[in-house]
Chain A
Amino acid sequence: MSDQPILRVSALEKSFGSVHAVRGVDLDVAPAECVSIIGPNGAGKSTFFGTVAGEHRPTAGSIEYAGRDVTSWSAARLARHGVSRTFQVARLFGSRTVEDNLMVARVAADRRSVRAWNVFGRSSRGRTQVQDVMEELDLAALAQAPAGVLAQGDRKRLELAMALVQDPTVLLLDEPTAGMSLDDTERTIRTLARIRSEHRRMTIILTAHDMDVVFALSDRVVLMGQGKVVVHGTPEEVENAPETRELYLGVKS
């Protein structure tokens, strides 16, 4: 790797009581790279993902982002510095409109969330970005719909849009196609592929169960099992590794 990694995870460990969910994971991610984390249920990928995103404090190890030690940073602080994430089950602000949800995300990225004497959503720059992302993700027709009444596919797209509108340096996608119909899955893959080609500097780390997503998008794949990295390489290398068949495809019921 010629580039300085944008994200460097070293010997990361996370335990919940006596459960060691993540047991020493090392991972360097280069700028503009797309890395997928796969593994069977209980492999620790969600915990790893949540720890990198600042949701959990690591038990041991360190995380560096853009050359800074961010091990103890909160999720909010990471987000303000360009690490945006999505959730496996879409988390939206149900009482407010689609447009407002995106505007909240944009305003937060601009570090203006606690301004009490402005008018929310009036900044023209923010508006343009929100409009652009709504166009990009086919949400424009739903702009004024309350997020709480959206259909599942629309919820997931809004979830993704909220991360994208923040114009992140690192985008963390937790199961971007979980719970989607085949159709929606294909659309999401196309969207993500397009985003990769349009935002060339964006680094993406995603977790997935769906191999189509992984193969369509990733430069590298990390296979986790029992809290550790089992195989690590290009999608083809990981697919053909004997460990993968044994651990992942073999166990898959």
Chain B
Amino acid sequence: MTAQQNSTVVAPPEPTRSPVGIERRRHPIVELAKILVTCLVIAFAVPTVVHDANLFLVTTAVIYAVFAMGTNVLFGWTGISSFGQAAFFGTGAYAVGLTKDHIESPILAVLVAGLAAGVMALLFAALAGRITGVEFAMLTLIFGQILWMLTFRMDALHGENGIPAISRGELFGQNLFLDDKFWWFAVIVATVVVLGLAHIRRSSLGASMNAVRDDPLRAAALGIDVRLVRALAFTIAGVVAGVAGGLMAQQQGLVTPEILVWALSGEVIVMCLIGGMRTFWGPAVGAVILTVVEHYLFDKLASPDFFVGLALLVVVLLAPGGLLSLTTVFRRVRRRVAR
């Protein structure tokens, strides 16, 4: 060690060294505008290329994308593991099913779905109290399974047969029964959710969530109420899952216990993993890929789960940060080549 050694003289690390997850800061309005434009482009472009049954499938993919982005508030942003997110997705779906005779407005129905799931998530987070980590993940799994069983047992929910004949309703004189009209409805709801999530991510709460993820003890020592941050993350994820579940109920026109099955909780995690938990859009990309690929594989293969597992293995081994993390790697390589 020489006397001259002084770490501040060293040039600041170049952006090429940034790990995945650190992005250049843009003005919040610019960022929201970019998201809005992205969503609009998708909304207009997709129906010109994709029609009929395929449009129905892509709409399903968008709904799962919303679900996955909400779930990533837990996994990617706050570092909470939950194996029971299907419970909140299902709560939203059943909320739409149960209120189908009383609520005509599809927007109101989706809001009720989000509210119901949000209240459920908040209650769960409050009851789970200090429990964290694997124990918390197990509790979410148990909670999900309890709700799933209740859907069979409760008369009001019609057991295995579920609640049929859920109408998609009308919006501004447009009959959402038509798939190309419902596409617009789903994309608009998704856009609002994504804008909301983007805004929360840039807020103090968003920063606190990252702090809690990176080092909860440190966060607490700074005065952050770690339990409250976790509970809020769980509630936000619940609301978004509920909204997605509500959309799903409207799209399918039917809610059955299938919608709360624990396998869906696992699948939404796989979506986040494939797309990349440390990126904003990663979970949405993962959801679209998984939904579309699975649909075609189910038609052609006896055991598509095997290939989903294989695909996940390949992604985890070759791109541990998920597919969207590759853009960072790609940029890094390009900069190195350019030098």
Residues of A within 8 A of B (CB): 53, 55, 74-77, 79-80, 84-85, 87, 91-97, 100, 103-105, 107-109, 111-121, 138-139, 141-146, 148-149, 151, 153-154, 162, 166, 181-184
**Residues in B neighbouring A97, C-beta threshold 8 A:** 22
Instruction: Choose one: A84, A104, A115, A149; the contact of B203 (CB below 8 Å).
Output: A115
Contact call B222/A104, Cβ cutoff below 8 A:
yes
Name 14 interchain pairs, CB-CB below 8 A, sorted by A: A55-B217, A76-B225, A91-B221, A108-B224, A113-B207, A114-B205, A117-B199, A119-B202, A120-B207, A138-B8, A141-B12, A146-B18, A149-B19, A183-B1
**What are the nearest 10 A-B pairs in CB distance?**
A79-B223, A91-B218, A93-B214, A108-B223, A80-B223, A116-B205, A138-B8, A108-B222, A113-B208, A115-B204
Q: How far is the CA of A141 from the CA of B8 in the complex (A)?
A: 7
Q: Mark out the residues of chain B between 15 and 34 whose CB falls within 8 Å of any chain A CB in the assembled complex.
A: 15, 17-19, 21-22, 28
**Residues in A neighbouring B206, C-beta threshold 8 A:** 116, 120
Q: How far is the CA of A77 from the CA of B210 in the complex (A)?
A: 20
Given contacts A112-B204, A115-B203, A138-B8, contact A95 B22 (CB under 8 A): yes
Q: Which of B44-52, B61-69, B226-234, B310-318 contacts A (4 or more CB under 8 A)?
A: B226-234
Q: How far is the CA of A144 from the CA of B14 in the complex (A)?
A: 9
Contact call A95/B214, Cβ cutoff below 8 A:
yes
Interface residue? B215 (CB, 8 A): yes
Q: How far is the CA of A121 from the CA of B208 in the complex (A)?
A: 12
Q: How far is the CA of A111 from the CA of B204 in the complex (A)?
A: 10
Interface residue? B200 (CB, 8 A): yes
Instruction: Choose one: A84, A105, A113, A148; the contact of B225 (CB below 8 Å).
Output: A113
Given contacts A92-B218, A181-B1, contact A145 B211 (CB under 8 A): no
Least CB distance, B57 to chain A, in whole angstroms:
34
Interface residue? B3 (CB, 8 A): yes
**Residues in A neighbouring B28, C-beta threshold 8 A:** 119
**Residues in B neighbouring A139, C-beta threshold 8 A:** 8
**Residues in A neighbouring B218, C-beta threshold 8 A:** 87, 91-93
Residues of B within 8 A of A (CB): 1, 3, 5-8, 11-13, 15, 17-19, 21-22, 28, 199-200, 202-208, 210-211, 213-215, 217-226, 228-229, 232, 278
Given contacts A93-B210, A119-B28, A183-B1, contact A166 B7 (CB under 8 A): no
8 more A-B contacts (CB under 8 A) besides A76-B225, A114-B205?
A: A75-B220, A77-B223, A92-B215, A94-B19, A109-B222, A117-B199, A146-B22, A184-B7
**Residues in A neighbouring B15, C-beta threshold 8 A:** 144
Given contacts A91-B215, A149-B17, contact A113 B204 (CB under 8 A): yes
**Residues in B neighbouring A85, C-beta threshold 8 A:** 221
Q: How far is the CA of A146 from the CA of B23 in the complex (A)?
A: 10
Contact call A76/B214, Cβ cutoff below 8 A:
no
Tell me whether chain B's interface is mostly helix, strand or loop, or mixed. helix
Given contacts A76-B226, A114-B229, contact A120 B204 (CB under 8 A): yes
Contact call B12/A79, Cβ cutoff below 8 A:
no
**Residues in A neighbouring B226, C-beta threshold 8 A:** 76
Contact call B203/A148, Cβ cutoff below 8 A:
no
Least CB distance, B3 to chain A, in whole angstroms:
7
Least CB distance, A135 to chain B, in whole angstroms:
11
Contact call B204/A114, Cβ cutoff below 8 A:
yes
Contact call A183/B3, Cβ cutoff below 8 A:
yes
**Residues in A neighbouring B18, C-beta threshold 8 A:** 146
**Residues in A neighbouring B11, C-beta threshold 8 A:** 141
**Residues in B neighbouring A108, C-beta threshold 8 A:** 208, 219, 222-224
**Residues in B neighbouring A115, C-beta threshold 8 A:** 203-205
Contact call A109/B200, Cβ cutoff below 8 A:
no
- Which of A84, A93, A113, A151 gathers the greatest number of chain B CB atoms within 10 Å? A113
Given contacts A91-B218, A92-B218, contact A182 B1 (CB under 8 A): yes
**Residues in B neighbouring A184, C-beta threshold 8 A:** 7
- Which of B213, B224, B228 gathers the greatest number of chain A CB atoms within 10 Å? B224
Q: How far is the CA of A87 from the CA of B22 in the complex (A)?
A: 25
Contact call B203/A117, Cβ cutoff below 8 A:
yes
Contact call B232/A114, Cβ cutoff below 8 A:
yes
Given contacts A104-B208, A181-B1, contact A95 B21 (CB under 8 A): yes
Contact call B17/A104, Cβ cutoff below 8 A:
no
- The closest CB in chain A to the CB of B218 belongs to A91
Least CB distance, A126 to chain B, in whole angstroms:
10
Q: How far is the CA of A93 from the CA of B6 in the complex (A)?
A: 23
Contact call A148/B19, Cβ cutoff below 8 A:
yes
Instruction: Choose one: B13, B204, B211; the contact of A118 (CB below 8 Å).
Output: B204
- The closest CB in chain B to the CB of A151 belongs to B7
- The closest CB in chain A to the CB of B215 belongs to A91
Given contacts A142-B12, A145-B13, A183-B5, contact A93 B223 (CB under 8 A): no
**Residues in A neighbouring B12, C-beta threshold 8 A:** 141-145
**Residues in B neighbouring A146, C-beta threshold 8 A:** 13, 17-19, 22
Given contacts A55-B221, A95-B22, A148-B19, contact A103 B207 (CB under 8 A): yes
Given contacts A95-B22, A96-B22, A120-B202, contact A114 B208 (CB under 8 A): yes
**Residues in B neighbouring A93, C-beta threshold 8 A:** 210-211, 214-215, 218-219
Q: How far is the CA of A153 from the CA of B10 in the complex (A)?
A: 12
- The closest CB in chain A to the CB of B14 belongs to A145
